[in-house]
Amino acid sequence: MTNDLISEIDGSVGRIRLNRPKALHALNLTMCEGVLDALEAWRADPAVEVVTIDHAEGRGFCAGGDIRMLAVSGAGDGSDARAFFHTEYRMNHRLFTYAKPTVAFMDGITMGGGVGLALPCRFRVATENTKFAMPETGIGLFPDVGGGWYLSRLPGRIGQYVALTGHRLDGADCLALGLATHYLPSAALDAAKAGLAETPQDIAGVLDALATVAPEARILNDQPAIDRLFASDVLEEILDALAADGGEWATATLATLRTKSPQSMKVSLRLLADGAAMPTFEDEMRQEYAVGAHVVQRHDFIEGVRAVIVDKDNAPRWEPATPDAVSDHLIEQIFAPLPENEAWTPN
């Protein structure tokens, strides 16, 4: 029995609480299985009217997934990594399609796997502590857990910018972009959770009553530059546009992109281009699972984890090392569907 996840019923509220404070509540396989079990148990339970997701002790909300395990598995046969992705994506999809209202409290770091937990929820609460990001291109991965779906639906080209750079959005940014439905001061969260337990039929009313005016969303000030310089789905054209601009913001952004995996950036652009036209979220997760199964065993992911998480030298040696060396053929291989007996399924 693990204590990494706490699931309990509080009045009419089913509460899912992430409880790995030393890992900033990063998800492991057991936690994903626990979320699925709780959602299934509460699905037909008339006593549960609303499901909330937050973190228990320490800082939160959720820093991502069990990256070290994924890299160790990827260096071998990849089976443990595929098992984790398969279960995590089922959890993401179950939340996306869940019939009962769900509320995520994104109070703190909300990255990677945490994004996958929060964004399917009907109500998403940001605070002054929210730090939302999909930083996967820095470790040779890509914005998964539905990133191709969610980021491709942000205003203008902000999704492409966030996917490539790993830029951190604050709570005000999240509210302005629709990633959050409400902005509450963190000091009001206990009152919000108590209010939901008392009147679960009026979630919007409870949250609206405690919401405050968010600060200025700084990302909107950058949107004209983002829309202009990230207009292309071709990585080399984005890099050329930033270099040609030569301004302070463009120069800093170009420097950031030059630290990221060229393979991962091309995968991310393709993922968002496909995701914008994906018929259903189930289709999105099926594609992301196939891409993840391929990417997790490639050099850049194993090297990225080594450089950023294991050795912490922050000097990854990407292969291919340059965008033009990442061929269209390589991207097609990464996006190739899996055989039917290996493909992701929602159940």
- Judge whether 333 and 294 are in contact, CB under 8 Å: yes
Alpha helices in the chain (DSSP H): 29-43, 67-75, 79-96, 113-118, 147-150, 158-165, 171-177, 189-198, 203-210, 218-229, 235-245, 248-257, 262-275, 281-295, 299-305, 328-334
For residue 277, pLDDT over 70 is answered with: yes
Q: Which of 174, 190, 154 is nearest to 276 (CA)?
A: 154
| 65 flagged as catalytic | yes
Task: Give me the catalytic one of 49, 88, 107, 144.
Answer: 144
List the domain boundaries for the chain.
5-334
Radius of gyration of the chain (CA): 20
**Of the given ranges (14-18, 48-52, 218-222, 304-308), which has the lowest mean pLDDT?**
304-308
pLDDT for residue 244: 98
Task: Give me the catalytic one of 14, 34, 64, 65.
Answer: 65
Q: Looking at the structure, give the CATH architecture of the domain made up of residues 5-334.
A: Alpha-Beta Complex (3.90)
| 136 flagged as catalytic | yes
**Of the given ranges (2-6, 157-161, 222-226, 342-346), which has the lowest mean pLDDT?**
2-6
Q: Distances from the Cα of 229 to the Cαs of 22, 134, 338, in angstroms?
A: 39, 20, 34
Determine the Cα–Cα distance for residues 297 and 234; give it in Å rounded to an integer: 24
CA 284 centroid distance within chain: 14
> For 209-266, what is each residue's pLDDT tens digit?
999 999 999 999 999 999 999 999 999 999 999 999 999 999 999 999 999 999 999 9
pTM of the model: 0.96
pLDDT for residue 68: 86
Mean pLDDT of 292-304: 95
Determine the Cα–Cα distance for residues 147 and 133; give it in Å rounded to an integer: 11
Q: What share of the chain is helix, strand, coil (3-state, %, to 5)?
A: 50, 10, 35
CB atoms within 10 A of CB 197: 17
Q: Distances from the Cα of 233 to the Cαs of 13, 45, 189, 269, in angstroms?
A: 43, 46, 40, 6
| 304 flagged as catalytic | no
Mean pLDDT of 48-70: 93
For residue 132, pLDDT over 50 is answered with: yes
pLDDT for residue 1: 40
Mean pLDDT of 107-130: 98
For residue 127, pLDDT over 80 is answered with: yes
Task: Give me the catalytic one of 113, 159, 166, 195.
Answer: 113
For residue 70, pLDDT over 60 is answered with: yes
pLDDT for residue 2: 58
Q: Which of 295, 258, 21 is nearest to 147 (CA)?
A: 295
Determine the Cα–Cα distance for residues 308 and 1; give it in Å rounded to an integer: 31
For residue 167, pLDDT over 50 is answered with: yes
| 57 flagged as catalytic | no
CA 306 centroid distance within chain: 21
Task: Give me the catalytic one of 49, 107, 136, 170.
Answer: 136
Position of tokens 């399924």?
345
- Judge whether 126 and 106 are in contact, CB under 8 Å: yes
Q: Residue 58 — pLDDT band, cuts 50, 70, 90?
A: confident
pLDDT for residue 5: 97
